[in-house]
Amino acid sequence: MSSRQWLRDARVDAAAISANTEALRAAAPSAHTLAVVKADGYGHGAVTSARAALEGGADHLGVADLQEAFELRGAGIDAPLVAWLLDPQFDVDAAVDAGVTLGLSSLDQLERVVAAGRGALVHVKADTGLSRNGVPEAQWGPMLERLARAVHDGDVRLTGVFSHLSNTSPDDDRQQVVVFERFVDAVRAVGLDPGIRHLAATAGALDHPVARYDMVRFGIGLYGIAAERHLRGTVALRPAMRLSARVVGVKRVPAGSGVSYGYAHRTESATTLALVPLGYADGVPRAAVDAPVLLGESIHRVVGRVAMDQIVVDVGDAAVAVGDEAVLWGDPAHGVPHVDEWADAAGTIAYELVTRLGRRVHRTTVGGGFRVGESA
Ligand SMILES: Cc1ncc(COP(=O)(O)O)c(C=O)c1O
């Protein structure tokens, strides 16, 4: 780890991702564990996150698109890897050459794979309720008949079937399990072995043991964040990202001073304001109100509107100086706010915060028993 003090820094603890993977596998065991590292590992770095999760016992990786898959392969990661949000022109040959499993959601996609005649690895996704990707029930018949022929002809290899839960309510999730069971039956009815059956992501795996099947897909939990409010604290997870910046200005202001655009806040009494160079261009949500920041020994609050490049923190009478470190979120075990507190302050979910850090924020990677280091 560099001793250089970055103006803005997102420090990712790879060891925390490994430990979270282990903790989740213990809490929601299944024969296989897929680590979801799409969206640049939920903002934590795809390659770092993939290596850390494999270190923690994951045996599969999952991404949305093939570009993300090729990035992992380019870094020398050769674990089984599924990509499930395919470009209309997806390159079957490149996927086969890279040993990437294609998550198929339509007959058109299947025809594209068959036309390549390369014996591509596929997992077929059923739409069991979200109305997003996945084959809708009305099209299971033609899809599975075509799949059976393609498998027989050696044009594709079916190694798994899957779907995704909506986390709407326990009843809604159970209803999706029923539909998924029907899909698995339909696959078997055309004479195919469904291979690895997988349905649950972090929340589903913890809430519904029945939905774990042969593999669970952990995303947000790997990064130390609970998938749903009711799951906060149920598994001992360590937030892996710590977002901080150096204070660039400190000023004492009198009572009644307007703060930031629109004077959405006016100081009630004389106080000290610290200027922290992180704004919405860096992924700090503009909607955040009263969000917490660790400065010095204490948690203080953001006042006034979040601007593009900066926030203002009211530190009262605390002694804060230019150059001090302000921590927006990290591991609360170290006295810093949890990213969930920022999500609550902004009326959003932590997924959105960690995945949207801007390019100006330096990334530092620490921890892990494998080759990690500072990113460029
Ligand atoms: C198909 C699929 N599986 C698993 C996940 C991981 O979900 P979570 O981050 O809630 O664990 C996602 C994320 O959106 C997904 O799209």
CA of 198 to the centre of ligand 1 (A): 11
Q: Whole-angstrom Cα distance, residue 134 to residue 119?
A: 21
Strands 241-246 and 8-13: antiparallel
The pLDDT of 225-254, averaged and rounded, is 97
CA 124 to chain centre: 22
162 near 104, Cβ under 8 Å? no
Closest-lying ligand 1 atom to the alpha carbon of residue 222? 11
Q: For residue range 11-69, what is the model confidence (pLDDT) as tens digits? A: 999 999 999 999 999 999 999 999 999 999 999 999 999 999 999 999 999 999 999 99
Q: Decide if 361 is inside a domain.
A: yes
Give the residue, by CA position, lying nearest to ligand 1 atom 8: 219
Kindly tell me if the per-residue pLDDT of 352 is higher than 90.
yes
Query: Quick one: 245 and 216 in the same domain?
Result: no
Whether residue 370 has pLDDT greater than 90: no
Interval 257-265 mean pLDDT: 97
274 and 209 both lie in a single domain: no
Nearest atom (ligand 1) to Cα of 162: 1
pLDDT of residue 4: 73
The answer as to whether 136 is a domain residue is yes
Same domain membership, residue 86 and residue 218: yes
pLDDT band at 375 (very low <50, low <70, confident <90, very high): very low
Identify the residue whose C-alpha is closest to ligand 1 atom 2: 164
* Domain identity same for 217 and 272: no
29 contacts: CB under 8 Å, gap ≥ 6:
212
Measured over the CA atoms of residue 84, residue 85, residue 88 and residue 89, the dihedral's sign is negative
**What's residue 28's pLDDT?**
98
For residues 346 and 264, state if they share a domain. Answer: yes
Distance separating alpha carbons of residues 160 and 313, to the nearest angstrom? 50
Active site residue 38: yes
Annotated catalytic residue within 223, 251, 261, 351 = 261
Say how many Å lie between the CA of residue 218 and the centre of ligand 1.
Answer: 7
Ligand 1 centre distance from Cα of residue 197 (Å): 15
Total domains in the chain come to: 2
Note whether 101 and 168 are same-domain residues: yes
Residues 39 and 178 in one domain: yes
On whether residue 232 sits in a domain, the answer given is: no
Indicate whether 329 belongs to any domain: yes
Domain boundary among 190, 222, 254: 222
Judge whether 251 counts as a catalytic residue.
Answer: no
Name the nearest CA neighbour of 372 among 115, 4, 11, 5.
11
Q: Note the pTM of the prediction, 2 decimals.
A: 0.96
Q: How far is the CA of 251 from the centre of ligand 1 (A)?
A: 44
Q: What integer is the mean pLDDT of 270-286?
A: 98
Ligand 1 atom having least distance to the Cα of 125: 1
Would you give the DSSP letter of residue 146?
Answer: H
* Closest atom, ligand 1, to C-alpha of 36: 6
Reduced DSSP (H G I as helix, E B as strand, rest coil) percent helix, strand, coil of the chain, to 5: 35, 25, 40
Q: Which amino acid is at 14?
A: A
What residues line ligand 1, using a CB cutoff of 6 Å? 36, 84, 164, 201-203, 217-221, 227
Q: Give percent above pLDDT 70 in the chain.
A: 97
Q: Ligand 1: which atom is nearest the Cα of residue 205?
A: 11
The whole domain housing 164 covers: 31-222
pLDDT-derived band of residue 372, with 50, 70 and 90 as boundaries? very low
Q: Which of 38, 125, 213, 280 is catalytic?
A: 38
CATH code of residue 75: 3.20.20.10
**Does residue 175 sit in the same domain as residue 125?**
yes
Among 24, 25, 36, say which to mutate for ligand 1: greatest number of ligand atoms within 8 Å of CB. Answer: 36
Spacing, Cα 38 to ligand 1 middle (Å) = 9
Query: Which of these three, 222, 249, 266, is where a domain ends?
Result: 222
In a domain, 2, yes or no: no
Mean pLDDT of 179-199: 98
SS3 of 24, please?
A: helix
The answer as to whether 227 is a domain residue is no
* Same domain flag for 72 and 151: yes
CA distances from 260 to 257, 276, 294, 302, 327 (A): 10, 12, 20, 11, 20
Give per-residue pLDDT as tens, 122-151. 999 999 999 999 999 999 999 999 999 999
For the CA of 38, the closest atom of ligand 1 is: 13
Regarding whether 147 and 107 lie in a shared domain, the answer is: yes
Predicted confidence at residue 278, as pLDDT, reads 98
Taking CA atoms only, the protein residue closest to ligand 1 atom 1 is: 164
Asked, for residue 161, whether it belongs to a domain, the answer is: yes
Q: What is the mean pLDDT of the chain?
A: 96
Distance 133 CA to ligand 1 centre (A): 13
Phi, psi at 265, each rounded to 5°: -135, 140
Q: What is the pLDDT of residue 201?
A: 98
Cα 339 to ligand 1 centre (Å): 19
Beta bridge partners of 198: 162, 215
Residues 253 and 218 placed together within one structural domain of the fold = no
Question: Tokens for 128?
Answer: 């069991």
Is residue 113 situated within a structural domain?
yes
Whether 316 shows a pLDDT value over 70: the answer reads yes
Mutate to test the pocket of ligand 1, among 24, 164, 353 (most ligand atoms within 8 A of CB): 164
Q: Please say if the pLDDT value at position 373 is more than 50.
A: no
Question: For the segment 284-295, what is each residue's pLDDT rounded down to a tens digit?
Answer: 999 999 999 999
Note the pLDDT of residue 3: 60
Are both 213 and 360 inside the same structural domain? no
CATH of the domain at 294: 2.40.37.10
C-alpha 108/C-alpha 105 separation (Å) is 9
Residue 176 predicted with pLDDT over 90: yes
